[in-house]
Structure 1
């Protein structure tokens, strides 16, 4: 059972207006209450702001990255020349997605983003550009750098001018020295929950997941986007699951009986977040928690708030043939070993455990995580864990 987060804020938007519901505290050490104006880190929900900035600047999604960043380099020079803005927005650029994940938390100068993108020169390809969905934080670093170059100002200033201010997101910020002038929920982990330190993070990561915002501001962003979505939800590429596609950073899912759900999840050290819209009925739901363990709870709350369908029950194959699935897979930073057991496979990464198959190349790991094995020329070549893509190396 997932423990309750120390602090939680829910927000709804529908034809009746907006409403908020909060409970808990900003910090287990200093128990002041959270409310709709408390700042939370929202992790990858930040990608929606980066995508909106790309749209606001009129960047052609089919332009090559090198049209905007002529010095863009990867370990595979040919791939670097072929990757487009569309590939970045839809997580199909194919290069190692997290080579920059350990950048120093005190890297706060204005040159941090440019250095991080330059450091991708050593990033290997996990798949050819445009071929497979593989969730990429590094790809959104590159998009943030494109915003910076096209706008002619630091990414954070451009995002504020192009998106945050027009949307009425008055408290939202990427900077901790601005955040501390407002009520802030501190991130927690463990059981019982404890405050996680350090709190800072590299400025280079702001475009992929550095926004600090409130439930009220995210409802303002939802209202702003629903009023004039532009290309936000247009299908730029297929998503990682059946009946899904990726728009301008939005994950869009077809709903049974018609309609769509569009949104993004966020998960980072100490925090989880969800922003979900129903574009065809003008509804939205936001839920923010200052706990890194609250993801499944937030998913259930979102489904209940918006009437989203539950995960269907599956029949598992009794004795799947997994010989071609076994081996070692990498995403350029991490490795996962796949070993066989009588009713499926076991993944070496902590917390994933056993995978039971519902089809020859598709299964569910612990906690319902979607697992797919992808094939090239009839042989298993890649493993996808939800959105994470890994290449088979042995």
Structure 2
């Protein structure tokens, strides 16, 4: 679905389109902000909380989830610019107590190539030592691959980066965030925790139309995106500073460095690279940078087209954000910046043959188990079971996998209008894949 052929910077047209798509896709509340050069357009729709009936406005705060990783990366690049940190020095040189399986560099942590298990969601309390306590637990994380070898999304790596910020700045992470990013950007509505968020009109996450029982994830994961909340327009201010350069935030050279490709993404149906804090998807017509984020019942999207001076921030608090993003954000970027995303993958017709024994097995991470098995007809099925802290968010689910190409598969049935992709990845030591790559490396057991 594409945006109506009206000016996307017209606030009335933008509000109408946002409301139409939000209702169509069961979105509880949403806010969007668009930058095109010096022009800005903002709109909001729906509710912040179905229990209170409070409407969402352009002054409402939503959580930005993992987009906060780009903020953590910016704090790190500030330290690099000050000469206090080098991208290719090891994290252990700053944190000698860090007990990761192998030495890992700052660059590798920023690019998600640290090579260790990255979903370490442990509540270590609400004190200023929450991040330090979580970093101390990383001595027990499994090694997945040699550092720098394979991209695997890593929340814990950004917790380590947040701890490095704390040590070099001599203050808690959220204080550094406020002092070195929020204040220089002039943001008056950003909140780094629930205690601050309650002072504003703030969205509550929703699932199945009802508020979720918690507002944010644990403080120990703040550098990875546990609780940072703001207006869509505030996220746009951050994007503009990255596109234009801002002496109070980050020079142009450092901002460009963050957008330089560091590692190619595996074939997960979305070709591209990862930079230093940014995803760099391969779109037609120009260079795009961005990040997505999710917290309980909330989702966020940020896309930048620096050469065109265009950025879009979309924040939601319930429902399926994927078709809303595809139906609104992508067409806006096409209209204003001339960039076009690749067609999303879908199962080929006729179906490609599958070597079932090659893929069948159990693949596990700390938070998810994937049981892959064939049936009598030669089809491939996966049963996904949340583990650990994720188990409270639902039970096992079963999906058919259709082979897309090579060792890449997509879900045969669309979810939210898209067919998620997974890839079976080897390590060069055998014919059978060692990992199921779902954005994270899940080890074959």
- Do both share a fold (TM > 0.5)? yes
Q: 1:26·1:290 contact (CA, 8 Å) conserved in 2?
A: yes
Match of 1:42 in 2: 64
Report deviation, 1:243: 4.0
Among 65, 85, 109, the residue aligned to 2:127: 109
Q: 1:11·1:285 contact (CA, 8 Å) conserved in 2?
A: yes
- Matching of residue 87 in structure 1 with residue 92 in structure 2: no
Q: 2:117·2:144 contact (CA, 8 Å) conserved in 1?
A: yes
- Matching of residue 19 in structure 1 with residue 41 in structure 2: yes
Q: 1:187·1:292 contact (CA, 8 Å) conserved in 2?
A: no
For the residues of structure 2 that align with 1:251 and 1:287, how far apart are their CA atoms? 16
- Matching of residue 118 in structure 1 with residue 146 in structure 2: no
For the residues of structure 2 that align with 1:85 and 1:240, how far apart are their CA atoms? 21
Match of 1:254 in 2: 282
Q: 1:69·1:146 contact (CA, 8 Å) conserved in 2?
A: yes
Residues 202-232 of structure 1: CA deviation (Å, up to 9, x unaligned): 2111111121111010111111111122412
Q: TM-score, normalised by structure 2?
A: 0.81
Match of 1:353 in 2: 399
SS at match of 1:338: strand
Task: Kindly report structure 1 stretches of 4+ aligned residues shifted beyond 3 Å.
Answer: 240-243, 341-344
For the residues of structure 2 that align with 1:343 and 1:215, how far apart are their CA atoms? 47
Match of 1:373 in 2: 424
Q: 1:103 to 1:292 in 2, by over 3 A?
A: farther
- Matching of residue 303 in structure 1 with residue 315 in structure 2: no
Query: Please, which moves more after superposition, 147-156 or 294-303?
Result: 294-303
Match of 2:441 in 1: 389
Match of 2:213 in 1: 197
SS at match of 1:372: strand
Among 340, 359, 363, the residue aligned to 1:325: 359
Among 232, 240, 247, the residue aligned to 1:223: 240
For the residues of structure 1 that align with 2:309 and 2:361, how far apart are their CA atoms? 46
Q: 2:123·2:219 contact (CA, 8 Å) conserved in 1?
A: no
Report deviation, 1:300: 3.6
SS at match of 2:332: helix
Q: 1:374 to 1:48 in 2, by over 3 A?
A: same
Among 91, 97, 113, the residue aligned to 1:65: 91
Q: 1:333 to 1:312 in 2, by over 3 A?
A: closer
For the residues of structure 1 that align with 2:309 and 2:258, how far apart are their CA atoms? 14
For the residues of structure 2 that align with 1:117 and 1:299, how far apart are their CA atoms? 37
Q: 2:58·2:231 contact (CA, 8 Å) conserved in 1?
A: yes
Residues 284-333 of structure 1: CA deviation (Å, up to 9, x unaligned): 11111111643443344321221233325552543221311110111234
Among 144, 168, 171, the residue aligned to 1:153: 171
Unaligned stretches of 5+ residues in structure 2: 1-22, 246-254, 335-339, 385-395
For the residues of structure 2 that align with 1:173 and 1:292, how far apart are their CA atoms? 23
Report deviation, 1:19: 0.5
Q: Aligned-residue CA RMSD in angstroms? A: 2.0
Unaligned stretches of 5+ residues in structure 1: none
Q: TM-score, normalised by structure 1?
A: 0.91
For the residues of structure 1 that align with 2:353 and 2:175, how far apart are their CA atoms? 56
Query: Please, which moves more after superposition, 342-351 or 5-14?
Result: 342-351
Q: 2:217·2:296 contact (CA, 8 Å) conserved in 1?
A: no
SS at match of 2:381: strand
Alignment of 1:232-311 (within 5 A): 232-241=258-267, 243-256=271-284, 258-291=285-318, 293-307=320-334, 308-309=340-341, 310-311=343-344
